[in-house]
Amino acid sequence: MTEQIRKIELIVTAREQDEGVGARVRRSIGTQARRNFYPFLLFDHFSGNNANGFPEHPHRGQETITLMINGAMAHEDFTGSKGVLYSGDLQFMTAGKGVVHSEMPLPAADGSANEGLQLWVDLPNNLKNSEPRYRDLREWEIPQLVEDDGKVIVKLISGKSHGVESVKDLAYTPVDYYQYTVKKGGSFKQELRKDFNYFLYVLQGDGLKVNGDRNVKQFQNAFFVKQGDYFTGENNDDKDVVFALIGGKIEDQEVIQYGPFVCSSREGVEQAFDDYQSMKNGFENLRTWKTLISHGVTQEMVDGPLDGSLEKRAQQKEEYLRTHKVINKV
């Protein structure tokens, strides 16, 4: 059977806006231009520094996938989970029946912004009442592929690329996730899975040409049609192109969402607001929880209760590399 190229359906430019407290986001899913792209409900390219972040706020019925691009972000929630994500790390959170958490940047010595991507993924209806959970994926656990004589570099977070497969449990819904860097003159062909929706968001560079005929520039999100087995790309600009390619399995499920609550019915959304305000049915921990980081993160917090010092991180990396075979293709 002949392979079919997958074309771009829509390109959305992510405009910068305020979010949280003093933070900035470029949102390309969860807007008037693209309400959702099943199974994805929201996609933000965020930045913030010092106390400019996302203090305590609730979620129900979805999962979040957070990738740190630059800097570091502390997180905590009312179940007791807490820690620090550094550049290249990912975190996967299942809100399930309810969670309240905070995400706040670590102050950078040079005042630069902490930058990352956050994706919301719908939960299957039969799992919307599941218990909250977290999983972390550290940057050293991610295979890196070098192709086209060093002009194409792929961080294979989850999926299959250039003959290498590394599928991770990012969410209950199967998700593919790649981070590409394409240097001047670099070209590639990326295979795609059937029954998956895919989008491509450009973090850096204006030189990406997809399928030989569509340019996708910095801060633009290109949404692909549902049909097709692969797409191609090339960079003819002097500046490197960096983009995230993300795909998720399509399910026959209606999205009922209001803000941070995603339910299987409109009555469920009303119930979620009542449960949150009344601190019941999944939100009971709010009665006793005291946030640690919502007003800003200090080094004492990082070294102490957040258990996220750079020294400990170096030890964890050394131990992992000593005991695991790292898949890298050069």
Mark the binding-site residues, compressed into ranges: 57, 59, 101, 103
End-to-end CA distance of the chain: 30
CA distances, 230 to each of 157, 190, 196 (Å): 18, 5, 12
Residues 6+ away with beta carbon under 8 Å from 109:
none
Report the run of H or E that residue 122 belongs to, with start and end.
Answer: strand 114-122
Q: d(Cα 40, Cα 161) in Å, to the nearest integer?
A: 22
Structure tokens at 81: 């989970």
- Residue ranges for the known binding site for Fe cation are 57, 59, 101, 103
> Are the C-beta atoms of 24 and 17 separated by less than 8 Å?
yes
Query: What CA–CA distance (Å, rounded) separates 223 from 181?
Result: 19
User: Rounded distance, CA 210 to CA 194, Å?
Assistant: 19
Written as one string, the DSSP assignment of 187-218 is EEEEE--TTEEEEEEEEE-S-EEETTTEEE-T
